[in-house]
Structure 1
C-alpha cells in the first residue's frame, strides 16, 4: 500500500519506478535497524518519504553534472544514500562517498548499498582526519554550523566544485557568522519540505 508521504514524494519528483523500488528497500532496512542504532528519530518513521527522502532528494537537481559526490556525517544515509539511489538511473552512475565515523551506522550504510546495488564508498573515518576527498560535490545534513562545514569544504572539495548544504530556519544567522571567516559564492534555494529552511549552494571557498 502506498503511503501519503510516498505519494507526496512521487508528486514532487519525476523519478523512475526503479528508483521508487530502491527507496522502498531502503525504507524497510531503515525501519528494521532503527530500534537498535537510532538512525532517525522514531517520531519520523511514519513520514520517511517526506521528512527524509524528499528532504534529501530535493538537493539532487541543484547539481546536474558530477562524477563524485561526497556526503559528510551521513548517519542514516541522508542525503548521501538518497543521492546515490537517484544517481543509479544514470547510464554511468557517478561515485558517491559516504563518510560516517560511527561503526554501527557505517555498517548500516554498507548494508543498504549492498542490498540495492549502489556505487557507494562508505568511509568509517573522521571527517577531519580522512585523506582529502577532492569531491565535485560536497553535502552534509544536520551535521554542524555553516562555519564548521566550510572548514570541511576547504579540505574535501575540488577547487571548481560545489557544496550543497540544507539548512533550517536559523540559516541566516549561520551565514552571517560564516561570512566573518570565509569568502565564497552563494546561491540560496527554497526548501520543498520546510518553509523557513533553505538549501545553500556554495563555490569558491576561501578563508578570510
Structure 2
C-alpha cells in the first residue's frame, strides 16, 4: 500500500479515491481501475486503518465495502459523519440488502452498487461522488470567505446590515437604532463595501448564505431600502 505522503504527491484536483475493502484482490483491482483513468487511489483493509490516516486536501470519494471485518461500512460512515470528516461515499456490496441500502443513502451515501458490477457503472458513481465533494468544498470555501468579511464589520455595521436584509426600510432601521437615516446609509455603504457586494440584492444573497436570513423571507424584489422609503 502507498504511504500517505506518496498519495499526497500524486493527488490532483481530479480527486482521490480511497478504497476500503478487506479483500486484497478487490482492493488491487479497484485501485488499478481508478489509476487507469487518471485518478489517484489509496487502499485500506479496514475502516480503522482509514481513520488512522489524514485525508488529503482534495476532492475525495470513499469506495467502501458495506460488510467489513470489524467495524462495518455503515459504522465507518457514521463515525465519519460524527467526526465531521466530509467525504462522498460509494458503497459496494455482494448482498442485496435493501434496508442497509436505505440506511446508507439516508446517511449521505452517493450510491450503493451491488457486486458484480460493470466497471463503467462504478466509474460513473465515483465521478459523481467526486463532483459532489468538489462542489461541497467550493461552497464551503466561499462561505468561509463571506464569514471573514462579516467578521471585519463593526458591531453597528453588522446590526444595520441584519435589519436591512430582513426587509426594514432606512427609516425603520433609523427609528429602531436611534440614529438618522443618513447614518443608516453610511453604515449600509460601509457594510456593502466590506462584504464586496455590488448591489443590495447581492448583499441579501450573501446574508442568506451566512444564515442571517432565510431564503424567501425578508426583502422582496431587489430589496433596496432606498427604493422603498427614505
What TM-score do the two structures reach when normalised by structure 2? 0.33
Give the structure with the larger strand fraction: 1
What TM-score do the two structures reach when normalised by structure 1? 0.36
Larger radius of gyration: 2
Give the structure with the larger helix fraction: 2
